[in-house]
Structure 1
């Protein structure tokens, strides 16, 4: 009774099945990841890279001028859904500025919005219920007299 109690054992067909299953899982995961990546980021940072490259030095100059200005902007949620921006400079809070915000959802799932914030004093500017809850990328533009500054900040409301 040679081999009667033993099965066939591990054969070449078993190894083929293991290899096909392994690579099938790897390929399925890669396909899923590639699909999700292409759905959540379109890949466009600037519309025209040549024009952007021509403006690069001007952007650097604007950034240096803004750094010399010394303004800071801090955006956050206050009072249950109210978007606020606190604007300050080297001398303290900045009142009487025009503060505009462009908000976009980082993954593009919700439409972007643009609005102007109202000054409430003490360098605080607010827009009640301007955005639904979630994560937002804000482009803040502040102008006071002949001086202006631009900021970009991510917030969660």
Structure 2
């Protein structure tokens, strides 16, 4: 019968364990940083100080828009165009818009709409997927905006 001899735990064993542990931690951190950098550019506004100077005006504009009582349903049609159905908007309103991919993977697109009454459809088709759509409705001197995610 043979007897196995236990080898002692040495400093080399501990060094190998520490190198393996920190190697895994560093590799995961590098992977996560690379994935985060590819999916979000990090720019919400170009200059946060300048944006802060306009904040109260933006709040006043939003309050005035809410007071109009207008509404909109925004959706992605089967042909790739964006359809907008307005509620409470006077006749003769004009609709414009923008579409951008939330993660910046596709270029931003300017949307032009054609329609009558309360139903509008974009002239440009956008690819399938998740898009953030911002529309602006103008009727005379009144302006109303809405932003919505469309999938």
TM over 0.5: yes
- Place the TM-score, normalised by the shorter chain, in its bin: 0.7 to 0.9
Divergent runs of 4+, >4 A: none
Deviates more, 1:76-85 or 1:64-73: 76-85
The CA deviation at 1:82 is 2.8
* Conserved? CA contact 1:136–1:155, under 8 Å: yes
User: Which structure has greater strand proportion?
Assistant: 1
The CA deviation at 1:55 is 0.8
**Compared CA separation, residues 82 and 120, structure 1 to 2 (3 A):** farther
Q: Distance in 2 between matches of 1:79 and 1:136?
A: 15
Counterpart for residue 39 of structure 1: 38
* Conserved? CA contact 1:74–1:87, under 8 Å: yes
Q: Distance in 2 between matches of 1:37 and 1:63?
A: 32
The CA deviation at 1:99 is 0.8
* Conserved? CA contact 1:120–1:126, under 8 Å: no
Counterpart for residue 101 of structure 2: 105
Structure 1, unaligned stretches of length 5 or more? none
The CA deviation at 1:81 is 2.2
* Conserved? CA contact 2:114–2:123, under 8 Å: no
Q: Distance in 2 between matches of 1:94 and 1:132?
A: 31
TM normalised by structure 2 equals 0.86
1:133 pairs with 2:128: yes
Count of residue pairs brought into register by the alignment: 151
The CA deviation at 1:7 is 3.6
RMSD (Å) for aligned C-alpha atoms: 2.3
TM normalised by structure 1 equals 0.83
* Conserved? CA contact 1:136–1:154, under 8 Å: yes
